[in-house]
A and B are shown apart, each in its own frame.
Chain A
Amino acid sequence: MPSPTGAPPAAAGDPLSRLRSVRQPHAPADPTLLDALIELDGPIARADAGHLLARVPVERIAPRERRLRPLRVAMVGTFTADGVLPLLRLALLQERIVPEIKTFGFDQLMVQLSDPDAALAAYAPDVTLCQLDDRFFLSRDWDRAAPAELEELLTQRTATIESAVCGFVARTPGTVLLHTVPLSPIERRKLTGYNAKAHLGRVWRSLNSRLLELPGGSNRIHTLDFEAALVDCAARLRDDRLMQFAGMAWSPGVELCYAHEAARFCHAVAGLAKKVLVLDLDNTLWGGILGDDGPAGIQVGGQYPGNCFAELQRAAAAWRRQGVLLALCSKNDPALVDDVLDNHPELVLRSQDFVARAVNWGRKDHNIRQIAESLNLGLDSIVFVDDSRFECELIRRELPEVEVVHLGGDPADHLAALVDAARFDVPTTTAADARRTQLYRARADRQRFAGSFKSAADYLGQLELQVEIMPADGFSLPRLEQLRLRTNQFNLAGRALNDPPAGAMTAHADRHVLSFAVSDRFGREGIVGGVWIDRRDSHWVIENFVMSCRVFSRGIEQAVLARVAGDATADGAAWLDAHYRPTERNRPVETFLESAGFVRGDERDGVIAYRLALKSAPQLKPAWIVLNEKDAGAHV
């Protein structure tokens, strides 16, 4: 394996051990650690990390290119919310914010907001997070038999908060975040009549409605709908032991949920909202591979799984209407993509929804860079979405400023994964947002991006790519046959259905078929292609060469050709011929032949003869690929 170059090697160990190590004086920096902390699950481990992070300079655990925004945050509440602090610190760092956080003690909310000389005002926070609990609103002895009194009590309390918050905002420059308040289920269960339970529910919801309305027109007061956010939180609202012993109104799980929501809000307030959503096409915006399955064969709309892809498109369209710019970055045939965008009846997104389209066979990091340049926006304003681990890792490595969302597994889960990860939230949307796509299209309309094929050699060097070439046998022939019939794009003979099947070819002594399989550090791709060869006295003829487009742009075809050329030379052949039958879709093969040094010859019956002289053949196998020599010379 070639030794990795460029990026530092990933540190070993679980993230918490790494965090303890990096805390030691003179320990080396660990720039991938902050991103690795995302693996930590649950409030206990995340709180532990949050405590440790209090004394680790962020430069030691984040990539150098990562720009982090400082933010001064205050936490003040009607109860003890100290458990939120470490969770919030970690969540903010993961939102690319370096926070300075100060808490103001138990039940300090009203004092700190109202008193101009209080410590909160002196701290001058950018964001003040106000934590409220139900006990603040309910007097301990409220008469459950007199519901009108409760309504009156809640109205008074809300008015008190409103005047305190408005006064604070008038005196200080920062932003305040309130939230809707979840009601302990015990309160509902204390009531016996279903009419009374319903009344309590209605009154409580009107309290929360008033809190949601409280910001009015102010852009410095906001209310997080925390009651709604808790719908997906598995934890109980309260651990009554912690409540009774220490006045903690939220269980650790609820504190974690709040920390996440509050950190997202801070991300928006800090002006870090992403502006561009760069989308892959195959298995991201639709199911299937357009180049192989054709416009009629892709899955979008209708029933499962096509409906999942349509839902994702609807979410992207909704973002577009709220000011997010959409762009395409896909390895595909641009004419075919245009056809689908213009004519496919089930598509939600159309050509005019995109401000830039990089549809070509080039490197995605280069394409994304060009998209950012054409829009005159920073790479840190981009969210990139792809189903390929290869592409996602490439972008993470080459463009660490870009937010990468990998969509794997069941397409039904893609939408939730995307809305959870993408950070388009802003404090306030305006009417101008709806016109943004139009404005940018005028600037960058129809810009076609020239794909760059220069390989990302140092990235590929870390992938541990292995290509195993072996003679086709009874196990691999059915898969090869399927690939030959399904593959449109990298298919030398252009997918002629009436060609003899691979099995028939192997019956001739002078003909042989090789299959090749690929694996990398993400796992095995299995058999991804094959080569059909006819051995002549003076030369070898490549009758077909097929490879799945899933593994394009990794140098695999060059490595396979290197092996074939080596075998041919050993067999006494002076040159290699390749019989290329151009179709609408298999241009990538032509590009490959020419880049490998084949010289174009005459065309006859739709077949172009390409020839590579073996004596002068260039070194074909890329340095980052290990070829597994599995008796490839033996003939079946």
Chain B
Amino acid sequence: MSDVFNIVVELIEQVTDVPAEEIDGDTRFDALDNWTSFAALSLLTGIEDRLGIRLDLRGYLACACVEQLVSSICSDAGAPASPARDASASGAGIG
């Protein structure tokens, strides 16, 4: 769990240049500096490359904060995220 969290935070730092110390589980993606749809996709491909998994874009986009994304990665353990998760449900998601 914490390994995945650390990797996600490190990758967020890479794509946004926001220092890792300023990122915690509650950090919302849409509140990050330099957060663009391109940054979101760079984070997606970075996570997939690093963890050797493939994420469902809908589930990924539905995650509003770091903790939600980490839980989603951990619960799916590399399987596609649940299609039941609806990107429109949480509205404020990535992108």
Contact = CB atoms under 8 A, between A and B. Distances in A.
A47 to B, nearest CB: 7
Given A42-B49, A44-B49, A242 B41 contact: yes
Given A241-B57, A245-B57, A245-B95, A44 B45 contact: yes
Contact of B37 (A43, A51, A241, A246): A246
Contact of A245 (B41, B42, B46, B50): B41
Contact of B38 (A43, A48, A246, A252): A246
B45 A82 contact: no
Interface string A228-249: 0000000000010110011010
B42 A83 contact: yes
A51 B13 CA distance: 11
- Decide if the interface of chain B is mainly helix, strand, loop or mixed: helix
Interface in A198-242: 239, 241-242
A252 B37 contact: no
Interface string B37-58: 1100110111001100000010
A83 B41 CA distance: 10
B14 interface: yes
- Decide if the interface of chain A is mainly helix, strand, loop or mixed: helix
B14 A51 contact: yes
A42 B50 CA distance: 11
Contacts of A242: 41, 45
Contacts of A248: 41
Contact of A47 (B37, B42, B50): B42
B88 to A, nearest CB: 14
A607 B14 CA distance: 71
B72 to A, nearest CB: 16
Contacts of A42: 49
Nearest to B13: A20
A42 B45 CA distance: 12
Contacts of B49: 42-44
Given A48-B14, A51-B14, A246 B41 contact: yes
A44 B46 contact: yes
Contacts of A80: 38
Interface in A34-55: 42-44, 47-48, 51
B11 to A, nearest CB: 9
Nearest to A86: B42
A44 B57 contact: no
Nearest to A80: B38
Nearest to A47: B42
A248 B15 CA distance: 17
Contacts of A245: 37, 41, 57, 95
A256 to B, nearest CB: 12
B37 to A, nearest CB: 6
Contacts of B95: 245
A82 B46 contact: no
Contact of A44 (B17, B37, B38, B50): B50
A42 B46 CA distance: 11
Contacts of A82: 38
A1 B58 CA distance: 59
Contact of A252 (B14, B15, B45): B45
Interface of A: 42-44, 47-48, 51, 80, 82-83, 239, 241-242, 245-246, 248, 252
Interface of B: 14-15, 17, 37-38, 41-42, 44-46, 49-50, 57, 95
